[in-house]
Amino acid sequence: MKSFKGDSKFSTWIYKIAYYASLDVLKKQKRTIYPENIDIFNESDVESVSHGLNFLELQDRKKIINTALLKLSEEERTIVTLFYYEEVSVKEISKIVNLSAIM
């Protein structure tokens, strides 16, 4: 906490620490990270054929998105995840990953 200067939001500061700590771990372990599905769906929740078809379409989309994410570099994957899944602003992301935000 002593190193927090207040130049950015506290959440941005924490994200930046977590981002660089995870990169350090990856460098030490030198292994590939595969994203895990955090949206576990219970099959008993499917109430009708329509819901079932929607569920299958959603699963296909998730698989396509995960495959596309794996094709990105770690930095690109982090940026996409922060923006689309964590809803972090471009300005905050640029501070986290030390890139300039061009809009």
Chain segment 42-57, per-residue pLDDT in tens: 555 545 556 667 777 8
- The continuous run of DSSP H or E covering 64 comes out as helix 49-70
* pTM metric for this prediction: 0.46
Higher per-residue confidence, 62 vs 6: 62
The C-alpha atoms of residue 89 and residue 84 are separated, in whole angstroms, by 10
Q: Dig out the tokens for 5 from the structure.
A: 């200067």
The C-alpha atoms of residue 34 and residue 22 are separated, in whole angstroms, by 14
The C-alpha atoms of residue 43 and residue 12 are separated, in whole angstroms, by 37
Which has the closest alpha carbon to 5: 65, 73, 49, 16? 16
40 HSE (CA, 13 A, CB side): 2
Residue 93 is predicted with a pLDDT of 87
Residue 1 is predicted with a pLDDT of 62
Q: Dig out the tokens for 13 from the structure.
A: 């500061």
pLDDT(6) > 80: no
Higher per-residue confidence, 7 vs 17: 17
Q: Express as a percent the part of the chain with pLDDT over 90.
A: 0
Higher per-residue confidence, 65 vs 47: 65
